[in-house]
Structure formats: structure tokens, C-alpha cells
Amino acid sequence: MAQAQRAPASSSTPWQPEHSLFGKQPTPLYRHEATLTDNQAYTLGELIDIAEENNPATQAAWDRARIAAANLGIARSELYPTIIAAAAGRAFLNPPLLYSSFALQDIGAFETALKLDYTLVDFGARRDEINAAKAKLLASNLTFNNQHLILIQQVSSAYYNLLNAIGLREAAEVNLHDARVVEEAVRDRKANGLATLPDLLEARAATAKADYELQSSLGAEQTAFGDLATVMTASPTKPFKVQELRDLLIPDTLDQTVEDAIENAYQTRPDLLADIARVKAADAEVKYARSAYYPKLDFEGSKGWLRAWGQQEKFGGTYGKTYTYDAKLSLTWTVFDGFRRESRLARAKAERDAAEHEVREREDLIADHVWGDYANAITALHERKAATSLLSASDESYSAAVESYKDGVRNILDVLSAERDLAHARAVDVTARTQVLQSFMNLAFRTGDLLTQHPKGNHP
């Protein structure tokens, strides 16, 4: 343990702790994993429920809100008197000086009392402290909500990325199947003398490329699954299923203007509202700092019961008892404190200005982000319609090319070109569908609506 109390010996080499520093047991890890089963397909709402129940960031934000609530209780306690019950006993043997000689005396005393302290007037200091604590609690609660908003966005984004990866993998499987069908058709035509060896080699290359793209999409799917499991605080080594893209309703229109979206964000974004609450807290802190310039009137009082026994040298012992009381009014006014009050007031004003500037910066960022995500949502809707048309046209073109090739009208290069276009159209269609979901979710996240309008699971 002695080595742990010193800094590293040099900046050029890592610190090497002693083996006994951490003991014989392994270093404790505060690990917690969400439990998911593989016998059901989880909806997005259910995934959000599980993440909210297990995510450490939201739990830490909740703890900070509880701390702020406790601080408010502490501030409010200043409004009430302090009552202390005290009991004290004392015994001593000493020789006091009486004239020119000492007299040894033995005294024992026992006292019980109730003491009351109360601030009568402080010119609003306690009120300002309470107002600051209230605003800080509000900011903590809103920050807690914002952490949930961020978590919902993270889970939704990871879920849609996984759906996109699954869709691309399924499209790649279909593409590989089509490539093998074309290769088999070319092989049959070559056996009948209707195709050449280069035609067969082209078809084989197309099949190999489709297989490569399938393997790549499988890897991307595994990566996307791991990302979702991490956000869920689940283990990526334990498989679970999710509701598939084909089971989701893809929106086809936006129900608000960009102006309404920006204004709605100003009213509902918890991070902006938390910043505004911090400005209110800073205002109260400024008032609290000013209250130090005013006097304070305090009352102190106590009432008790005293019993004592004593004996002086050469005299007999004696016993006495009596009621005791004490009352005191104190008016205190700090005249000079080394400019501490001035410095504290300057600091409070600077913190208030900084909080206001942060609000203004947040408002600008919100407007920019909502504008950008609104444009992305409009673009995604248009791309979705274009992707649907592209897929339909590419499918028809591919079917016609295959039939024409079988009839000897088209060559293999035409078929392979149509096959590539169809594979591309399938990938575009999957991406366009997930992009609509992703862009709508991002817009709801930027406006703050995602906190209440996200898909629901088991929890309302």
C-alpha cells in the first residue's frame, strides 16, 4: 500500500503496482447484465423498457436527482428552529485559592436542558437558498428525463441499424440465390452449345461476388447486434430476436411544419428546460450572495435542571438543585470580511451570465438540429418513394433480361447487369425504409417528443 501513495517515478515508463496492492482476490467489477431470452421477438418498446430498467446512466441521473431533493430538504430545514436536548455530568476535585491558602473541594454536578436556536430575521437569505435548491432540483429532474431521452434515442437508433443490417443480409441472400440461378442457366446453355465459356466465367464471378457481399452483410449484422446489446446492457454473446422490418409500419408523411417542430422543441426539450432552471437557480444564488450584506437576528434560549453535590475540606457535604434558563437575542452584521462577500457576489453573477449564455447556445443548436433532421425526414420520404419505384423497375428489368436470355435475344452481360441493378435496388429499398424510421425518430429526439411518443412496451 505504500507504493500506492506515491506518484510514478518517471514520466517515461508506466507505473508498476506491487502484486499485493490489490490483494489476492480479483478486482471487483460492478457488472450488471440485462436478461433477454431468445424465444420471443422483442419490439422496440420492450427493448426500451429493458434498457431503462438496467442502464447505469439513467440510474446515476436518478441518484443525482435524489441528491438535489435532499439538498432542498436541507435548505428548508433552516426555516425551523433547532432544538437540542442535552445532559451533562461533571465531577472534579481541585483546590481553589481562598485568601492566603488553598481549600480542597470535591464537586459533582448533573444538568439536563433543552436548547433552542432560531433565526428570526435574515432578510430573505433562507428564502433565496430554498429557491436556488428548488431550481436545482427541477434541473436535476429534467436532466434525468433528458438521460432517458438520450437512452431511448440510442436504443431506437441501434434497433433500426440492426433492422437495416438484417434487411441487407436478407437481400444479399436473395441476390446470391439469383446469381446461382443465372449461373445454372448459363451452365445448361453451354452444355447445349448455346453459351460460351466466358459467359460461364462471368456468371461464376457474379456468384462469387454475391457470396462475398453476403458474408460482408453477415458481419455487419453481427456488429449491429453487438451495438444494440451494448446499449441494452446485455451480453452480445447471448442471442435474442427483435421484431423485423417487414412487421413495422413505415410513415409516409410528416404531420407538422418545421416552424412548429422548432417551437415544440423549445417547449419540451428537457435539456433546454434544465438549462433554464439553472438560470433560475443562478438568480437565486445572486440574491443569496447579496443577503450577506444585511444583518441577521438570532434567538438562543435554554431551560434546564441542575443538581450538584459538593464538599469542602474540613466541612460537611452539601446538595443543591435548581431550574436554569438562558435567553439571548443576537444582532450580527458583518462589517468587513476581506472582500469575501464581494467575491462571492461576483462569482454568482458570472455563473448566472454563463448559465444564460448556455441557454442561448442551446436554443441555437436546437433550431439548427431540428431544421436539419426535418429536412432529412422529408428527404427520406422522397427517397422511400423513389426506392419503391426503383425496386419495381429493376425487378421487371431483371425478369425480362432473364427471359430474353433464355430465348437467345439477350447476352449474359445484359443479364448480369440487370442482376447487379436489382441487387442494388434491393439494398436501396431496405435502407430507404429504415432511413424513414431513423429520420422520424431523430426528429422526435430533437424536438423532445420521443420521450413520450416512443413505442411502448410493457410499461405505459
Reading the block at residue 294, the C-alpha cell is 444585511
Residues 171 and 246: beta-carbon distance below 8 Å: no
Length of the chain: 460
**Would you say the CATH fold of 82-121+296-332 matches that of 38-80+122-293+339-453?**
no
Cell numbers 451494448 correspond to what residue? 230
| Rounded Cα–Cα distance for residues 165 and 424 (Å) | 15
Chain Cα centroid distance, residue 444: 17
Show pLDDT as tens, one digit a residue, over the chain (460 residues): 445 567 777 888 887 777 666 666 665 556 677 888 888 899 999 999 999 999 999 999 999 999 999 999 999 999 999 999 999 999 988 888 878 888 888 889 999 999 999 999 999 999 999 999 999 999 999 999 999 999 999 999 999 999 999 999 999 999 999 999 999 988 988 888 888 888 889 999 999 999 999 999 999 999 999 999 999 998 888 889 999 999 999 999 999 999 999 999 999 999 999 999 999 999 999 999 999 999 999 999 999 999 999 888 778 889 899 999 999 999 999 999 899 999 999 999 999 999 999 999 999 999 999 999 999 999 999 999 999 999 999 999 999 998 888 878 888 888 899 999 999 999 999 999 999 999 999 999 999 999 998 888 776 5
Helix (H, G, I), strand (E, B), or coil: what is residue 333? Answer: coil
pLDDT of residue 288: 93
Within 10 angstroms of residue 266's Cβ, the number of other Cβ atoms is 17
Within 10 angstroms of residue 248's Cβ, the number of other Cβ atoms is 17
Q: Is 82 strand, coil or helix? A: strand
User: Quick one: 42 exposed, middle or buried, by C-beta within 10 A (0-12, 13-18, 19+)?
Assistant: buried
Residue of 40, 163, 134, 54 lying closest to 438 (CA atoms): 163
> Whose CA is closest to 228, among 150, 146, 168, 156?
156
pLDDT for position 459: 61
Question: What is the Cα–Cα distance from 394 to 86, expressed in whole angstroms?
Answer: 91
Looking at domain 82-121+296-332, its CATH class is mainly beta
- What is the three-class DSSP state of 242? strand
AA identity, residue 52: E
Q: Which residue spans within 292-381 are E strands per DSSP?
A: 296-312, 318-332
- The radius of gyration computed from the CA coordinates of the chain, to the nearest angstrom, equals 39
Residues 74/80, Cβ–Cβ less than 8 Å: no
Nearest to 299, CA basis, from 337, 332, 269, 270: 332
- Cα Dmax for the chain: 143
Please state, as a whole number, how many other Cβ atoms lie within 10 Å of the Cβ of residue 346: 12
Q: Are 43 and 243 in contact (CB under 8 A)?
A: yes
Burial of 446 (0-12, 13-18, 19+ CB in 10 A): buried
Residue written as grid cell 439553472: 278
What per-residue string of b and e applies to 22-31 under the rule 16 or more CB within 10 Å gives b? eeeeeeeeee
Instruction: Write down the domain spans for the chain.
Output: 38-80+122-293+339-453, 82-121+296-332
Task: Determine whether 229 is exposed, middle or buried from the number of CB atoms within 10 Å of its CB (0-12, 13-18, 19+).
Answer: buried
Q: What's the whole-model pTM score?
A: 0.86
* CATH class (in words) of the domain with range 38-80+122-293+339-453: mainly alpha
**Which DSSP helix (H) or strand (E) runs through 87?**
strand 82-94
Sign of torsion over alpha carbons 187, 190, 194, 195: positive
Q: Which residues of 76-86 are buried (b: 16+ CB within 10 A; e: fewer)?
A: eeeeeeeeeee
Distance CA 174, CA 195 (A): 25
Residues 6+ apart with CB under 8 A from 273: 142
Query: Which pLDDT belongs to residue 30?
Result: 60
- β-sheet bridge partners, residue 320: 308
- DSSP three-state, residue 119: strand
What is the distance of C-alpha 339 from the center of its chain? Answer: 40
Q: What cell numbers appear for 235 in the block?
A: 451480453
Backbone angles phi, psi at 33, to 5 degrees: -120, 135
